[in-house]
Structure 1
Amino acid sequence: MNSHTLQKLAAFTSTPKGGNPAGVWIGDSLPEPKEMQRIAAEVGFSETAFVAPNKGSKRTVRYYSPEAEVPFCGHATIATGVALGKKAGSGIYQFETTIGTIPVEVSEHNGEMRAALTSVEPKFELPSGTLLQDALSALGWSVDDLDSSIPPARAFGGNWHLVLAVKSKQRLDDLNYDFDKLKQIMLDDDLTTLQLIWRENDELIHSRNPFPVGGVVEDSATGAAAVALGGYLREANIINTPRNINILQGEIMGWPSQLNLSIPTVGGITVSGTAVFLTD
């Protein structure tokens, strides 16, 4: 019989009133895909991570939203790292995912577990004119709303995300998009979330992430989008590196989250944060 546990944590927060919740299933061996999908739908969070085996530093990890498998999920990875840290102690865990091996360093600071994942090699490309116009239309935005210092881009750090930066926080705060229209656009273009941002200063970015392809209106903390953004900012020479950036997300939702982004001169991008256990 497959011995397992199913825990619920909120990632990128130190309080259950913030962050992004994720399910963390840890067992001797992974369930069948249909069973993982059923469990993820029952949990109901934007993602649930499934982890096996039950011990060791190398773990196979799969991620499921309520509607489909997702290649990679940042906040569920942070939640899993903290769960493993509480269960098996600090150290570096190697997550074998469908996109490659993701090292996750887990450490304890002042009695609080913290996890840091390092992404696969990031990349970016310019979006097609059609994608940009369709996305702006679904959002109810115009080209004039955009911040020309951070041009639109498709960015990858494990999943593809469309990065759109706006000139004002008011534009970012006033988000009311066409769910079905944006979902179809994203499915057609293999996008996991939209990384909608406003840059307050060189070290602080505010973010919102529509996630209709996962059946979720908005994600309150998106680690995969954060590393994709960090890679884009570096590869497009928008920032000088190395650089640390804090990303604030989930504020308007009432689930404030803080993602700490570390962007080296070369290689994968690291995002770190804390996580807390949730009770039903």
Structure 2
Amino acid sequence: METRQALLVDAFADEPMAGNPAGVVPDAEGLSDDQLQAIAGELGASETAFVLSSDDADRRLRFFTPEREVELCGHATIAAYAALFERGAFDAGESTMETERGVLDVECKLDGTVWMEQDDAEVEVVDCSLDEVAAALGVDDATLRDIGADLPLAVGDTGFPWLLVPVNYFEHLSTAEPDMAAIEALCAQVDAQGLYAFTFDTISGQSTLHGRAFAPGAGVPEDPVTGTAAGACAAHVRRQGVLDETIEQVVVEQGHFLDRPGTVTVDTDGHEVWVGGRAVTTLDGTLTVPEAEASDDIIEV
């Protein structure tokens, strides 16, 4: 049977077993959608990036969760480009990437840091019941009302639409007890695919925001460190004028409650969005792919 190289790469991290693990298949040419989906399910990461050739860009990336394809994934992009750069697939500098959201720019620095362009931010303030949002997130509604007067709920989309929910203090975000079914239903009401709760009360003094991402509808109950959510959230707070003017880049920390801390750096004027981070390969192996017509076969790693 056919085999392909398969990697697990920890994105938005400087050391292994931190950040957000992504599957990466450096050569996915000739694989069917069923095979791509099966591989993503077998690798078990929240998203797997499949690298393909492109007529419109330097390369094409497709992204699959264990349950379905998504149009764009921040951490899997960082993981894929960091892994390819580490293996000498291209030199440091700028390149282009075809995705289901269009052709985007990517830049790899000499030190291995990867910066990816996301879609221009679409941010729409939404009128949701704070009681309903608080119940779904599993926090007291007062934790949302305190900050909601200055920073409204919004759906932000730079490639994956998130319901952005500001929480007043880290303590309350840390003790949240999310109801996944309620979050999925709430997101459906506002045309979002996940809920991103965030606070300006951070662990590190170098960070701007601390976030937690929940996307049960995409098969990801809680995501460790999330590029599209960080990008959309940074654009939202920048547009709302709640950031100090001296803050040039928004530094988002996430993943601590899953014991996978990581950091996303976002450069945005509130409209254009670039997300940057490092990544570390933790597994490099060979995966046996079933025949396309036998999608129910077990994949062996």
TM-score, length-scaled by structure 1: 0.89
Helix, strand or coil at the partner of 1:243:
coil
- 1:254 aligned partner: 259
1:189 to partner: Cα distance: 3.8
- 2:15 aligned partner: 15
Q: Against the structure 1 CA distance between its residues 222 and 28, is the aligned structure 2 distance closer, same or farther, given a 3 Å change threshold?
A: closer
- 1:63 aligned partner: 63
Q: In 2, distance between residues paired with 1:257 and 1:65?
A: 20
Helix, strand or coil at the partner of 1:39:
helix
1:45 to partner: Cα distance: 0.6
Q: Is the 8 A contact 1:26 1:53 kept in 2?
A: no
Q: Is the 8 A contact 1:123 1:157 kept in 2?
A: yes
- 1:197 aligned partner: 198
TM-score, length-scaled by structure 2: 0.83
Quick one: which amino acid aligns to residue 168 of structure 2?
K
Coordinate RMSD, CA, aligned: 2.6
1:125 to partner: Cα distance: 0.7
Do structure 1's residue 108 and structure 2's residue 92 form an aligned pair? Answer: no
Q: Against the structure 1 CA distance between its residues 266 and 141, is the aligned structure 2 distance closer, same or farther, given a 3 Å change threshold?
A: closer
Q: In 2, distance between residues paired with 1:182 and 1:11?
A: 25
Alignment of 1:199-214 (within 5 A): 199-200=200-201, 204-214=208-218
Quick one: which amino acid aligns to residue 95 of structure 2?
Y
Q: In 2, distance between residues paired with 1:102 and 1:180?
A: 33
Q: In 1, distance between residues paired with 2:28 and 2:74?
A: 23
Which structure's CA Rg is the greater one? 2
- 1:123 aligned partner: 122
Q: In 1, distance between residues paired with 2:84 and 2:272?
A: 22
Deviations 1:155-180 (A, max 9, x none): 11111101111111111001211122
1:48 to partner: Cα distance: 0.3
Alignment of 1:23-34 (within 5 A): 23-27=23-27, 29=29, 31-34=31-34
Q: Which has the higher strand share?
A: 1
Q: Structure 2: which 5+ runs fail to align?
A: 285-301
More moved, 196-205 vs 220-229: 196-205
Q: In 2, distance between residues paired with 1:68 and 1:241?
A: 41
Q: Is the 8 A contact 1:96 1:102 kept in 2?
A: yes
Deviations 1:91-114 (A, max 9, x none): 2221111111121111222xxx11
- 2:139 aligned partner: 141
Q: How many residues align?
A: 275
1:82 to partner: Cα distance: 0.2
Do structure 1's residue 233 and structure 2's residue 233 form an aligned pair? Answer: no
Alignment of 1:22-101 (within 5 A): 22-27=22-27, 29=29, 31-53=31-53, 58-87=58-87, 88=89, 89-101=91-103
1:34 to partner: Cα distance: 1.6
Q: Is the 8 A contact 1:15 1:276 kept in 2?
A: yes
Q: In 1, distance between residues paired with 2:30 and 2:250?
A: 35
Q: In 2, distance between residues paired with 1:254 and 1:203?
A: 18
Q: In 1, distance between residues paired with 2:77 and 2:195?
A: 19
1:150 to partner: Cα distance: 2.2
Q: Against the structure 1 CA distance between its residues 33 and 135, is the aligned structure 2 distance closer, same or farther, given a 3 Å change threshold?
A: farther
Q: In 1, distance between residues paired with 2:253 and 2:223?
A: 12
1:267 to partner: Cα distance: 4.8
Q: Is the 8 A contact 1:157 1:231 kept in 2?
A: no
Q: Is the 8 A contact 2:22 2:49 kept in 1?
A: yes
What fraction of aligned residue pairs are identical, expressed as a percent? 29
Q: In 2, distance between residues paired with 1:55 and 1:107?
A: 25
Q: Against the structure 1 CA distance between its residues 2 and 189, is the aligned structure 2 distance closer, same or farther, given a 3 Å change threshold?
A: farther
Deviations 1:171-212 (A, max 9, x none): 100121112232233345432321111103795211111121
Q: In 2, distance between residues paired with 1:144 and 1:86?
A: 47
More moved, 27-36 vs 236-245: 236-245
- 2:278 aligned partner: 274
- 2:176 aligned partner: 175
Q: Against the structure 1 CA distance between its residues 203 and 45, is the aligned structure 2 distance closer, same or farther, given a 3 Å change threshold?
A: closer
Q: In 2, distance between residues paired with 1:4 and 1:128?
A: 47
Q: Against the structure 1 CA distance between its residues 203 and 75, is the aligned structure 2 distance closer, same or farther, given a 3 Å change threshold?
A: same
Q: Against the structure 1 CA distance between its residues 142 and 125, is the aligned structure 2 distance closer, same or farther, given a 3 Å change threshold?
A: farther
Helix, strand or coil at the partner of 1:77:
helix
Quick one: which amino acid aligns to residue 237 of structure 2?
L
Q: In 2, distance between residues paired with 1:15 and 1:175?
A: 27
Q: Against the structure 1 CA distance between its residues 14 and 144, is the aligned structure 2 distance closer, same or farther, given a 3 Å change threshold?
A: same
